[in-house]
Amino acid sequence: MKPLYEITQTILNLYGQINEALGFCKSFVLVKPDTRLRKENRIKTIHSSLAIEGNTLDIEYVTALMNNVHVVGPQKDILEVQNAIVAYDNLPAYDPYSIQDFLNAHSIFMKGLIENPGHFRTSQVGILKGREVAHIAPSHTMVPGLMQDLFYYIQHDADLGIIKSCVFHYEMEFIHPFEDGNGRMGRYWQTRLLMTSNPIFEFVPIEKMMKDHQEEYYDALARSDTSGSSTACIEFMLRAINASLREMIEETKALNIDFRKRTANALSVLEGWFDRKAYMKVCKDISSATASRDLKRLLGEHRIEASGTGRMTQYKKVHN
């Protein structure tokens, strides 16, 4: 049976705003964000999604673990981050309509944290909010069938993919198919579904917006539980998607401004032929990777020309 929800005017308006933002993204970031921004957004995603679940490591620790730097902290929290790094690295490889891939992703997220990662629960569960039971999930005997129905819906229903990703997120949370790890899996698989609408969603940290508005997030889940409809959750999640896209656009604009200022200054100083090392002496505090990206972009914009290959490459400003 198709999940219950209503396509409200709010949903239509937000969907239009998201499409507008995706158009801006195509103009500014050319399908994929800047490499540095991609990494920063991945760190925000992992930190935020796990923080919602109670992970105590701050973003500096998550950054260190992303860079394979040893950190000292609660072993469970460190393992959660390490598992999430692997899971997000694998994200593009998963078939968004495969239950087996969904279970495989859960096994990576929860490796070493629960007894049977990658398997549906085999007992009754409830969700506590404080000392009160906020939600009693369907019987474990119903979980496989409910998940089959949900995956059939996302693959075959004619509704818009972005909206179906929101419906999946809520319905999966309602079913609560796992002993643990349901929240992070709902957010993770929504991202995988969003990527079928636009690959840029792999690098949009929607989870950060959910963490920053965590009470609204929980309230939307609760209102959908009460109404028996995904509508409240769809509206909240579309707001989070829209806000996340627009924040990324602003960050990309700032990076572009930095690039323009940096390269304009460098080309005003560098005379004749120069190499990457000379460029980095003028543009202090940038990495060799950033210098290489700058030079490649300058070549693409026909602002410089090149001679030679590899480390022997020399560059020269093009005079119009």
What is the total residue count of the chain? 320
E-assigned strand segments in the chain: 126-129, 132-136, 304-307, 314-317
Q: Are 99 and 106 in contact (CB under 8 A)?
A: no
Report the CATH fold assignment for 270-317: Arc Repressor Mutant, subunit A (1.10.10)
CATH superfamily ID and name for 9-251? Fido-like domain (1.10.3290.10)
Residue with tokens 């100083």: 269
CA dihedral sign, ordered 141, 3, 94, 176: negative
Q: Give CA–CA dist 79/110, Å, rounded.
A: 9
Q: Tell me how far apart the alpha carbons of residues 87 and 107 are, in angstroms, rounded to a whole number.
A: 9
* Contact (CB, 8 A) for 16 and 171: no
Extents of the domains making up the chain: 9-251, 270-317
Q: What's the pLDDT score for residue 30? A: 46
Q: CB 76: neighbour CB atoms within 10 A?
A: 12
Whether the CB-CB separation of 168 and 154 falls below 8 Å is answered with: yes
- Residue 124, pLDDT score: 83
Nearest to 293 by CA among 135, 283, 11: 283
Q: What is the pLDDT of residue 312?
A: 86
Dist CA 56 CA 89 (whole Å): 22
Phi and psi dihedrals of 248, rounded to 5? -65, -35
DSSP string computed for 208-240: HHHHHTHHHHHHHHHHHHHHTSSHHHHHHHHHH
CA atoms within 13 A on the CB side of 172: 28
Q: What is the dihedral of CA 12, 16, 18, 24, to 10 degrees?
A: 180
CB 117 within 8 A of CB 107: yes
Q: For position 202, what pLDDT does the model report? A: 92
Each of the 320 residues of the chain gets a pLDDT tens digit; together they read: 799 999 999 999 999 999 999 988 776 544 455 677 788 899 999 999 999 999 999 999 999 999 999 999 999 999 999 999 999 999 999 999 999 999 999 999 999 999 999 999 999 877 666 666 666 889 999 999 999 999 999 999 999 999 999 999 999 999 999 999 999 999 999 999 999 999 999 989 999 999 999 999 999 999 999 999 999 999 999 999 999 999 888 877 777 778 888 899 999 999 999 999 999 999 887 778 788 888 988 998 899 999 988 878 999 999 86
218, amino acid identity: Y
